[in-house]
C-alpha cells in the first residue's frame, strides 16, 4: 500500500492549546505522524512516497482567496504588530450575536492582524506559528498527490485490478475536517478531504466521504451542505467538540438534502455497537449512492483510552472497521485526521489499513 508522506508536515508545532480551561501541551503534535510512520515502516507492506506540488488551485476550489492569503501572511503581520512570537491566538471572535444590526455589520472593516485572528478562526486550538503555512500547504499537497495517484490507478486499471486495490493512505498533518472555506478550528486549517473531493469531482466522479474521526467533521459538512456530491457520512461522539453541529437532523439543504448523514454515538459505544452503526449506514446509504470513489477521514481518537475522545473502540476493533470499509468495495483514499493516544496511534491506524487489506 502506498503511503504519501512528507517531513514538511512536521514543522507546524505550536507549544500550547487550551482545553477545558487548562493550558496544556499541544496535542496535535508532530510526534503523532512520526509514530504512525515508524509503525507502518516496521510492517513492510507499506511504501512511502513523497508528494508533488500541485499549487494553490486545488486549495482555492474549497477555500476563499482572502482566507488563504491570510494563512500565508498572518504570522508576519502579527509579529510586526507586536503579537507574541510563539504564534497567533485570537483575542475576540466574530460571534453571530455581535453587531446583529445589519447596518452596523456592514461597517465592520477588518484590517488589524488582531481582528483577523478572530475573523478566520473559531477556537483556541489553531495557533499559527512561523511554520504553520508551510505544513498546512504540504498537508494539502500530500492529500492531492495521493488523490492523483488513486485517480491514475483507477483510470489505467481493469475492474478486476481495482477490486484488489489495497487503497492509498495520505499520512498528513495538520488535519482538515473541522476547517470550512473561511475558518480554521479544531487543529485544522485547510480541509484536505474536501480538496481531494473537488479534484475527483472535476472529472465528474461521484464521491463518498466517510468520516470516522471521533469528532463531527463540521467543516466538511458545511462545505458540501448544499451539494448532492459528495455524500458525507459522519460517525462521531456526541455531545462533544465541536459542540454546535453533528445532529441527525442536519441532512443537507436544497440539492444537498439527504446527502449529509450524521450518526451521533454516546460515549459508551463499543466495537460491536460501532460496527453495527457502520454496517447499517454502508448498506442503507453508502452502497445505494453508487459512488466512484471513497475518501475516509481517518481519526483514531475513537480509541477507548484516547486523551480527547470518549468512545470505547479497541485496537482489535480497528481491524474490523478496516474490513468493513473494504466491503464498500470502492477505490479508497484514507486521509489522516485525529488520534491523540501516542502509545497506540501507530497500531490503531495500522490495523484499519491492515483490516482493509485482509
Number of residues that this document lists for the chain: 358
Size of the site for Zn ion (CB under 5 A): 6
Which region among 180-188, 223-231, 280-288, 343-351 touches ligand SP5 (by CB under 6 A)? 180-188
Nearest of 5, 68, 73 to residue 37 by alpha carbon: 5
Strand partners of residue 207 = 293
Determine, following the binding rule CB under 5 A, whether residue 320 of this chain makes contact with Zn ion: no
Determine, following the binding rule CB under 6 A, whether residue 246 of this chain makes contact with ligand SP5: no
Determine, following the binding rule CB under 6 A, whether residue 175 of this chain makes contact with ligand SP5: yes
User: From the list Zn ion, ligand SP5, none, which binds 167 (C-beta under 5 to 8 Å, kind-based)?
Assistant: none
Which region among 7-15, 87-95, 291-299, 311-319 touches Zn ion (by CB under 5 A)? 291-299
- Pick out residues in 20-39 that bind ligand SP5 (CB under 6 A): 20
CB of 57 to ligand SP5, least distance (A): 25
Q: Which of 12, 178, 216, 341 is catalytic?
A: 178
178 is catalytic: yes
Query: How far is 181 from 65, CA to CA, in rounded Å?
Result: 9
CB of 302 to Zn ion, least distance (A): 8
**8 A C-beta contact, residue 31 and residue 341:** no
Closest to ligand SP5 by CB, 213 vs 250, is: 213
Nearest of 300, 283, 310, 292 to residue 349 by alpha carbon: 300
Query: How far is 191 from 62, CA to CA, in rounded Å?
Result: 8
Query: Quick one: which of 32, 151, 215, 319 contacts Zn ion (CB under 5 A)?
Result: 215
Per DSSP, the three-state class of 220 is: helix
DSSP state of 121: B
Closest to ligand SP5 by CB, 338 vs 350, is: 338
Ramachandran area for residue 55 (φ above 0: left; ψ -120 to 50: alpha; else beta): left
Show the binding pattern over residues 244-283: x = contacts Zn ion (CB under 5 A), - = does not.
Answer: ----------------------------------------
User: From the list ligand SP5, Zn ion, none, which binds 241 (C-beta under 5 to 8 Å, kind-based)?
Assistant: ligand SP5
Determine, following the binding rule CB under 5 A, whether residue 242 of this chain makes contact with Zn ion: no
Closest to ligand SP5 by CB, 125 vs 229, is: 125
**8 A C-beta contact, residue 146 and residue 168:** yes
Nearest of 335, 272, 343, 339 to residue 303 by alpha carbon: 339
Determine, following the binding rule CB under 6 A, whether residue 256 of this chain makes contact with ligand SP5: no
DSSP letters along 56-122, please? SHHHHTTS-HHHHHHHHHHHHHHHHTT--TT-B--S----TTTT-SHHHHTT----SHHHHHHHSB-
Per DSSP, the three-state class of 41 is: helix
Query: Quick one: which of 237, 246, 299, 317 contacts Zn ion (CB under 5 A)?
Result: 299
Which region among 112-120, 218-226, 252-260, 337-345 touches Zn ion (by CB under 5 A)? 337-345
Which helix (H) or strand (E) element contains residue 201?
helix 192-201
Query: How far is 25 from 129, CA to CA, in rounded Å?
Result: 15
- Pick out residues in 292-321 that bind ligand SP5 (CB under 6 A): 299, 301, 308
Residues marked as catalytic: 178
Tell me which residues touch Zn ion (CB under 5 A).
213-215, 299, 301, 338
Amino acid at each position: 500500500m502506498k503511503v504519501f508522506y512528507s517531513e514538511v508536515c512536521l514543522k507546524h508545532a505550536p507549544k500550547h492549546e487550551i482545553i477545558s480551561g487548562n493550558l496544556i501541551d499541544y496535542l496535535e503534535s508532530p510526534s503523532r505522524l512520526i509514530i504512525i510512520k515508524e509503525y507502518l515502516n516496521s510492517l513492510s507492506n507499506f511504501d512511502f512516497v513523497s508528494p508533488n506540488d500541485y499549487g494553490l488551485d486545488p486549495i482555492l476550489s474549497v477555500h476563499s482567496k482572502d482566507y488563504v492569503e491570510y494563512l500565508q501572511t498572518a504570522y508576519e503581520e502579527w509579529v510586526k504588530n507586536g503579537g507574541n512570537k510563539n504564534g497567533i491566538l485570537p483575542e475576540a471572535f466574530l460571534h453571530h450575536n455581535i453587531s446583529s444590526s445589519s447596518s452596523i455589520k456592514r461597517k465592520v472593516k477588518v484590517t488589524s492582524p488582531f481582528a483577523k485572528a478572530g475573523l478566520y478562526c473559531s477556537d483556541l486550538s489553531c495557533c499559527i506559528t512561523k511554520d504553520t503555512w508551510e505544513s498546512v500547504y504540504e498537508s494539502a499537497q500530500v492529500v492531492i498527490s495521493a488523490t492523483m495517484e488513486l485517480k491514475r490507478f483507477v483510470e489505467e486499471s481493469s475492474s478486476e485490478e481495482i477490486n484488489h486495490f489495497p487503497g492509498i493512505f495520505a499520512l498528513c498533518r495538520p488535519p482538515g475536517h473541522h476547517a470550512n472555506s473561511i475558518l480554521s478550528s479544531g487543529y485544522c486549517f485547510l480541509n484536505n478531504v474536501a480538496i481531494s473531493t473537488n479534484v475527483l469531482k472535476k472529472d465528474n466522479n461521484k464521491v463518498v466521504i466517510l468520516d470516522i474521526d471521533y469528532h463531527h467533521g463540521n467543516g466538511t459538512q458545511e462545505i458540501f451542505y448544499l451539494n448532492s456530491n459528495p455524500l458525507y457520512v459522519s460517525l462521531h461522539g456526541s455531545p462533544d467538540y465541536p459542540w454546535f453541529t453533528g445532529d441527525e437532523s442536519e441532512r443537507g439543504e436544497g440539492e444537498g438534502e439527504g446527502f449529509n448523514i450524521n450518526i451521533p454515538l454516546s460515549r459508551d459505544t463499543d466495537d460491536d455497537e460501532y460496527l453495527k452503526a457502520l454496517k447499517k449506514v454502508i448498506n442503507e446509504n453508502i452502497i445505494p449512492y453508487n459512488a466512484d470513489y471513497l475518501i475516509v477521514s481517518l481519526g483514531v481518537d475513537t480509541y477507548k483510552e484516547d486523551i480527547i475522545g470518549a468512545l470505547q473502540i479497541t485496537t482489535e476493533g480497528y481491524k474490523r472497521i478496516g474490513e468493513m470499509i473494504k466491503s464498500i468495495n470502492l477505490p479508497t483514499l484514507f486521509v489522516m485526521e485525529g488520534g491523540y493516544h501516542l502509545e497506540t496511534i501507530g497500531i490503531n491506524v495500522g490495523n484499519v489499513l491492515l483490516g482493509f487489506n485482509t
